[in-house]
Structure 1
Amino acid sequence: MKTIPVSEAVAMIPDGADLMIGGFLGVGTPERIVNELVRQEKHNLCVIANDTAKPGVGIGKLISAKLVRKVIASHIGLNSETQQQMLAGELSVELVPQGTLAERIRAGGFGLGGVLTPTGVGTMAEDGRRKVDVDGKVFLLETPLRADFALVHAFLADYLGNLSYALTARNFNPLMAMAAVNVIAGAENIVPVGLIAPDHVVTPAPLVDYLVANV
């Protein structure tokens, strides 16, 4: 794990990259990293996230700057700009039930071939999905999700890269840190090694490739 400036971290992300971005309506989203994505105008991005927040908040900044080509998320209802770009054909949106989204990311991180879920059976959500009969009950086969980069936010990080999250800001961050080729973490506080109790570490250091320096 290497501690680097946010500008250097974002410079490693190419245009067209698939990004997992933690957060729930902006809570737990690595704002400094998102701001730098906008500043460097990284474009044609595919964003995998719970939502697109609101205009001017978290992932909403990427939407407002029109840097995203595709969103895979559980809802976009609070971001009118996401909706407008989708209706105008400027942005592709794949809506996935929230629990299914979490499980698809988990499957990607754990090396599973997919997950079986009854959610969406008999609705438009089953369009294009394989169906599997298990003891007379129909399930949808949902495929794993992985990304080139996971951008996560922690409350505490140490200089090895161990991460601890605060309350609901934990949300999708730990799952995403398992499911990407490269993990870039931001943290509110970076502390010496040993100050985070071992049983408080949620994302262990070997999963984190780069820690954004607090400068």
Structure 2
Amino acid sequence: MNNKVITKEAAAELIRDNSTICTVGMTLVSASESILSSIEKRFLDTDSPRNLTLVHAAGQSDRNRGIQHLAHPGLVKRIIGSHWGLAPKWMEMISGNQVEAYCLPQGQMVHLYSAMAAGLPGRLSPVGLNTFIDPRIEGGKMNSCTKENIVEVVKFKDKEYIFYPSIPLDTLIIRGTSADPKGNLTTDEEAMKLEVLPAVLAAKRFGARVIAQVKYLVEGGSLDPKSVVVPGDFIDNIVICDNPERDHRQTSSWYYDPAYCGKIRVSPQQETSKAPLDIRKIIGRRAVDFIKPGAIINLGTGIPNDVIGQIVKEKEMESDVTITVESGIYGGLQSGGIDFGIGRNLSAMISHQDQMLYYNGAGVDITYMGAGELDRNGNVNATRLGSQCTGAGGFIDITQNARHVVFCSTFTTKGLEIELNDGKLNIVKEGHIKKLVNTVNQISYSGKLAVEKSQKMHFVTERAVFEMTDKGIMLIEIAPGIDLEKDILQLMEFKPLISEKLKTMPMNIFTA
């Protein structure tokens, strides 16, 4: 078949009831908006397709679009993904038991695609042991209506691993920039490389249909073969986006900026100005002090990605450190919030899958991650905050293998207000919710495993810094102006060890 072009409505009609579909993207980057919104419209108009299983590695939404289009009871009966922090409809459906929901580590899912493509029954990995992914704890099940264990613990040569089984696919939905009539696909203007080809090959192993949304249909034979990410033989249908500014955006905040796909480098005058000195920047300033020259670091979503890169730049440390993000970007200036995972003036961009190979194997020198709760055993929860099931994303893959993990978090939350006076911190209004608790709501990071591996771990807040030791969590620093008993110990559900050399955090952290 030479011409594979179909309409978005025709693409939606190809999705069968009770089938398993897989989508590729991260945040809103490479989300196939035309196809996803057409599936939603078909369901709302005709009550079909129904009872789908949705598989996705990274979170794919900006709170409004992406896989949010599929968040309807009856449309999807089971979701197997990694992150829904920017998908409020999915979090609501999961917490309301309207869908069976499994959270698996993002890196393990992209690696699973390769195992599936190779005809293997699944993937063995130590990633996820001793966390909520471990079937002896929760098995990745995110609500009470999810009953079946889809992962298992196995022993191989006297070591424990989690077995992640292959998932037979019926339809894969991907996105590219250009395609020719035969389906040869490029991703030149996309802001990430992602795991497009491994997912395509995984789909083909099961005889699945591959549908690609593109911005441009180009003449046959006009594409540079080196720029072709997916050969046309593996693509069944092409949907040309009819409204690219709305439905084929490079990312949520930008329709197209050549700096985000490496086509140009912007001048320093166009880069973001200094961030204001607020509570997030205070935490980031202290966290950055752990960096040693030559370090390769990772930035997780939230406080780390939003402020660490800017602080490194302000401190003129760029030549001393290499910043990476799980999407596959190196260096540059990272965007944050709903545009997590992209950056300008990058030094390199590799695929999502290759980045996770590095994080899972060698591991970064330091990873900076956000956190919701810390308990007396050094366990951290970043995946189930109250009733909100945000999911893990790349959190477990990265934290379990990094040499040094630095969690960045406010000490309390919901209503916390501070002020700075002459290099001292004053708590104007305390947060209503404690973050240092007896037992975390969900184990996203295992303190026990960290101690067994002799992994360095610090928990940095605006008023205190804690360190994981083999005897438990130890308070090692407090902010100037903070009362140890009133502002720290009374607001913890457990009593930490207190260092005999308890220090005061440097006053310049709290000075504009």
Alignment TM-score, normalising by the size of structure 1? 0.91
How far the C-alpha of 1:214 sits from its partner, in A, is: 4.8
Larger radius of gyration: 2
| d(CA) in 1 for partners of 2:193, 2:181 | 20
- Within the alignment, does 1:206 sit opposite 2:233 as a pair? yes
SS in 1 for 2:229: coil
**Which deviates the most, 148-157 or 68-77?**
68-77
What letter is aligned with 1:3? Answer: V
1:1-215 paired onto structure 2 within 5 Å: 1=1, 2-41=4-43, 42-49=49-56, 50-63=58-71, 67-127=75-135, 128=149, 129-134=152-157, 136-166=158-188, 167-180=190-203, 181-214=208-241
| d(CA) in 2 for partners of 1:145, 1:188 | 30
| Percentage identity across paired residues of the two chains | 25
How far the C-alpha of 1:66 sits from its partner, in A, is: 6.1
How far the C-alpha of 1:45 sits from its partner, in A, is: 1.8
Q: CA offsets per residue over residues 58-79 of structure 1, 9 Å max, x none?
A: 1112115762221111111222
**Which deviates the most, 60-69 or 106-115?**
60-69
Q: CA offsets per residue over residues 164-196 of structure 1, 9 Å max, x none?
A: 114444313322222221101111111112221
Contact 2:22/2:54 (CA < 8 Å) preserved in 1? yes
| d(CA) in 2 for partners of 1:152, 1:212 | 10
SS in 1 for 2:238: strand
> Does 1 or 2 have the higher relative contact order (CA < 8 Å, sep 6+)?
1
RMSD (Å), alpha carbons: 1.9
Unaligned 5+ residue runs, structure 1?
none
Unaligned 5+ residue runs, structure 2?
44-48, 136-148, 243-512
Structure 1 residues 54, 148: CA separation in 2 closer, same or farther (over 3 Å shift)? same
| d(CA) in 1 for partners of 2:118, 2:179 | 23
Structure 1 residues 65, 186: CA separation in 2 closer, same or farther (over 3 Å shift)? farther
Alignment TM-score, normalising by the size of structure 2? 0.40
Contact 2:61/2:87 (CA < 8 Å) preserved in 1? yes
Where do 4+ consecutive residues of structure 1 move more than 6 Å?
none
Q: CA offsets per residue over residues 12-60 of structure 1, 9 Å max, x none?
A: 1112221101110121111100111011113322111122524321111
| d(CA) in 2 for partners of 1:214, 1:54 | 19
Q: CA offsets per residue over residues 79-126 of structure 1, 9 Å max, x none?
A: 222122111110111101011011112212221222221101222312
Structure 1 residues 23, 160: CA separation in 2 closer, same or farther (over 3 Å shift)? same
Contact 1:45/1:68 (CA < 8 Å) preserved in 2? yes
Structure 1 residues 51, 214: CA separation in 2 closer, same or farther (over 3 Å shift)? closer
Structure 1 residues 213, 83: CA separation in 2 closer, same or farther (over 3 Å shift)? closer
Contact 1:107/1:145 (CA < 8 Å) preserved in 2? no
| d(CA) in 1 for partners of 2:160, 2:5 | 48
**Which deviates the most, 7-16 or 94-103?**
7-16
Contact 1:16/1:43 (CA < 8 Å) preserved in 2? yes
| d(CA) in 2 for partners of 1:143, 1:72 | 12
| d(CA) in 2 for partners of 1:51, 1:24 | 5
| d(CA) in 1 for partners of 2:194, 2:241 | 22
Structure 1 residues 66, 82: CA separation in 2 closer, same or farther (over 3 Å shift)? farther
| d(CA) in 1 for partners of 2:106, 2:62 | 18
**Number of residue pairs matched?**
214
How far the C-alpha of 1:161 sits from its partner, in A, is: 0.4
| d(CA) in 1 for partners of 2:73, 2:218 | 34
| d(CA) in 2 for partners of 1:78, 1:214 | 24
**Which deviates the most, 59-68 or 143-152?**
59-68
SS in 2 for 1:72: strand
How far the C-alpha of 1:201 sits from its partner, in A, is: 1.1
